[in-house]
Amino acid sequence: MKRIAAMALTVTMLMTSVLGFSKPVELVWYLPGGGTFPYTDSKVVYDAVNEILAKNLNVVIDFKVPGAPGQYNDLMPLNMAAGEKMDLIFTSHWSNNYVKAASNGLYAPLDTLLPKLAPTIWKDTKDMLTAAKVNGKIYGVWGQQIAAKTSNLNVRDTLISKYGWDFAKLKSPADIEPMLAQVKAGEPELIPLSTRKPVAEWMLPYLGITGVGILPEVLGTRVDDGKVKVFSLIDDAKYLEMVNLSRSWYEKGYLAKDGFTYSNDQWGQMKNSGKVAFDFHNTWKPGEEVTPAPFGGMLVTAPFGQSFVEGLSIIANLTAVSSRSKNIETSVKVMEYFWTHPEVFNMIVWGLEGRHYTKTADGKIQPDPKAGYFTNSAYIYGNTFLSYPVVGSNPAAAKMTYDLNQRAKKAKTMGFSLNLDSIKTQVAMVTSVKDQFYVPVVNGYIDPVENLPKYRAALKKAGIDELLAEIQKQLDAWAKANNVK
């Protein structure tokens, strides 16, 4: 009798595992919450997503959004240090630092798993993923979006038609000076040029300068430089041209006098409300040159100069798998699933059709930000090219973006990751100096003639030479090992 019972038990267990009647595997996915409130429908959406996942993959996901969006960067290192259970983790250079966590062994290497378990992801992004290499291994999946950096100019269409500007001939930032003068004279309530970031910073793609992974406001390397030499930005002649340009524009009144006190979101709002006439940017999205602006009107984008892809473009949005996860392979499979199944991907990004967005006749969607689920951040969830186009956007843009990414040149430093252990002190000290001088000087708010020498001297005292030497050493070693020319 006992033996029959034992056999029956074994058979049942075999059957349940083989036929998949066992409980679905539970994964935990940590993401920054981004999106308007009310976020009240998140449970409804997650349940709907999990229904599909449970049926097709035998997986359910516990989507964890820790704290408010700005707190993700504070909470994730803490949660990881405390060993909280996690499988999928959003990580980047601007929140929850990817390189740091990867170097500390917190993420699982995906080099062998991706080709095997996520063939579509691998095929689509394998070239770009070289930028996500830390010590030779890939630790994250890139959420495929615009990667190429191109300096560009944003303007309101109403101003263009009023003054009859033609941007086809735009070759360099100085070309807009006469237009700035016209705005200053003719539109007294507007701020001619936004200084959310200094002109020099937006012009880095135009100048062909990329970074080394830290202190992007201080250090740079040339995109084309096979010798990958790192230098201090304020020692570069062309960079200084931009600084002086900003200063002359400040003196002519084209910059907001208190601009350095406005926060990022305030600039965003001013742009939305049309209070700002011109705004530079460093990411041009092909196919989206004319987009509807909030508060009405259209925003026109005019790119100029070269396009290139740099390491930070890829490290801008990665999803990693925790090295301590018990479900590494399943996690990778889940990422592949989201990458290739528009229904479930759009569900997690936009919510439920009819409830959170409506579909229009031509296949676009009109989301309702007030309906209870509006993230508007497909890049956090994965393959943005899979997202349904929103009304007012160009459906061909995804393909054009992909093509631009492919044909843009790749910065020579892609794939290099910096080890900070021996230079932590200098990084901290240089950061302090940067905080004091960067915004006022590079934006032109205070006289560069007087203050650039002060800035340089302070950097020297903070150990920038040691910093440059150590970084160069690591760059040279990496270039040699990877045959970079």
Question: Which residues, 326 to 355, sit near another protein by CB under 8 A?
Answer: none
Q: Is 99 in the site for another protein (CB under 8 A)?
A: no
Q: Is 212 in the site for another protein (CB under 8 A)?
A: no
Residues found in the chain: 485
Q: Is 21 in the site for another protein (CB under 8 A)?
A: no
Sign for the CA dihedral angle at 283, 285, 288, 293 comes to negative
Segment 261 to 300, residues that bind another protein, using CB under 8 A: 261, 263-266, 268-273, 275, 281, 283, 285, 288, 291-296
Number of residues in contact with another protein under rule CB under 8 A: 98
Least Cβ distance, residue 146 to another protein (angstroms):
8
Longest CA pairwise span in the chain (Å): 99
Cβ nearer to another protein, comparing 38 with 119: 38
In 216-331 the beta strands, taken as DSSP E runs, fall at 219-222, 230-232, 276-281, 290-292, 298-309, 318-321
CB 369 within 8 A of CB 39: no
Instruction: Supply 281's token pair.
Output: 């940017």
* Among the listed residues 10, 436, 447, 473, the single contact to another protein using CB under 8 A: 436
Q: Which one of the spans 1-9, 198-206, 332-340, 433-441 is the region binding another protein (CB under 8 A)? A: 433-441
The SS3 of residue 402 is helix
Q: Report the distance separating Cα 146 and Cα 193, nearest Å.
A: 25
Least Cβ distance, residue 40 to another protein (angstroms):
5
Q: DSSP state, 174? A: G
* Among the listed residues 2, 23, 169, 424, the single contact to another protein using CB under 8 A: 424
- Give the Cβ contact number of residue 164 at 10 Å: 6
Q: Is 242 in the site for another protein (CB under 8 A)?
A: no
Q: Report the distance separating Cα 373 and Cα 174, nearest Å.
A: 43
Residue of 482, 9, 115, 10 whose CA lies nearest to 332: 115
Q: Is 447 in the site for another protein (CB under 8 A)?
A: no
Segment 370 to 389, residues that bind another protein, using CB under 8 A: 370, 372, 374, 376-377, 379, 389
* Among the listed residues 137, 369, 454, 456, the single contact to another protein using CB under 8 A: 369
Segment 45 to 64, residues that bind another protein, using CB under 8 A: 64
Q: Which one of the spans 26-34, 158-166, 233-241, 242-250 is the region binding another protein (CB under 8 A)? A: 26-34
In 368-472 the beta strands, taken as DSSP E runs, fall at 409-410
* Among the listed residues 17, 104, 135, 482, the single contact to another protein using CB under 8 A: 104
Q: Report the distance separating Cα 259 and Cα 415, nearest Å.
A: 36
Q: Is 181 in the site for another protein (CB under 8 A)?
A: no
Q: Is 100 in the site for another protein (CB under 8 A)?
A: yes
Residue of 100, 196, 98, 183 whose CA lies nearest to 141: 98
Q: Is 360 in the site for another protein (CB under 8 A)?
A: no
